[in-house]
Every structure is written in structure tokens, then in C-alpha cells.
Amino acid sequence: ETGVTQSPTHLIKTRGQQVTLRCSSQSGHNTVSWYQQALGQGPQFIFQYYREEENGRGNFPPRFSGLQFPNYSSELNVNALELDDSALYLCASSPPGTGRTGELFFGEGSRLTVL
């Protein structure tokens, strides 16, 4: 069984640019969440997608946006990059039936560096 896969694994951008990060959810999982993990910190919730719609959002500005596709894969888009956006971006998928327990299955992340 393939787990959550993310691409690219590393990338470097400059301030003001835009970035798209991709995530394939684990087989059978229908919910995708995105988290930002700054160096030395715990992950922070960005948003969650279910049935191709955002249905939960953390304290992140609108320049962070996302998509979920019919095959449950997802994208995270960040516009007008700032230096503080440098972080590890983690995608997590969840199987049906975990809406109460909230279990997350994480990918290995995409490390974004903004210069």
C-alpha cells in the first residue's frame, strides 16, 4: 500500500514568487489536510479538504489556497511568497470513518526555502 506522497521534496523560490506543492493521498483516504512546520516548531494547520471543498482553515492568509481533485489528490498554492513562508509543508490524508478521531497520516513533506 502506497502512503502519502508529496512533490517536490525540496525547492527554492524568491520573495514575491508563487509556488504549487502536490500531494497524493494514501489509497482509500478521502480527506486531505495541509500543515506548515517551521524549523524547530510543531506543525500548524493550514486547511483541510473533503469532497473537493475546503472545510476547515487555520490562521493563514488568503494567499494560501488549495485544491482537491476527484482522485483525492491535492495541491497547496502560495502566492506572493514571503521569507517567513520558508518551512516544511506537510500533507496528511485521512480515511473515511475518522471524522471523530481525527487521525492523520503524513507524507514526508516539501521543504520550501524563500530567499
Partner 1 sequence: GEDVEQSLFLSVREGDSSVINCTYTDSSSTYLYWYKQEPGAGLQLLTYIFSNMDMKQDQRLTVLLNKKDKHLSLRIADTQTGDSAIYFCAERPGGGSARQLTFGSGTQLTVLP
Burial class (CB in 10 A: 0-12, 13-18, 19+), 73: middle
- Tell whether omega for the bond before 8 is within 30 degrees of 0, i.e. cis: yes
Choose which of 41, 77, 79, 113 interacts with partner 1 (CB under 8 A): 41
Q: Which residue's CB is nearer to partner 1, number 17 or number 41?
A: 41
Please report whether residue 60 would count as binding partner 1 according to CB under 8 A.
no
Q: Which residue's CB is nearer to partner 1, number 44 or number 65?
A: 44
Other residues' Cβ atoms within 10 Å of the Cβ of residue 93:
26
Q: Which residues contact partner 1 by CB under 8 A?
A: 4, 31, 33, 40-45, 48, 55-56, 58, 90, 92, 94, 98-109
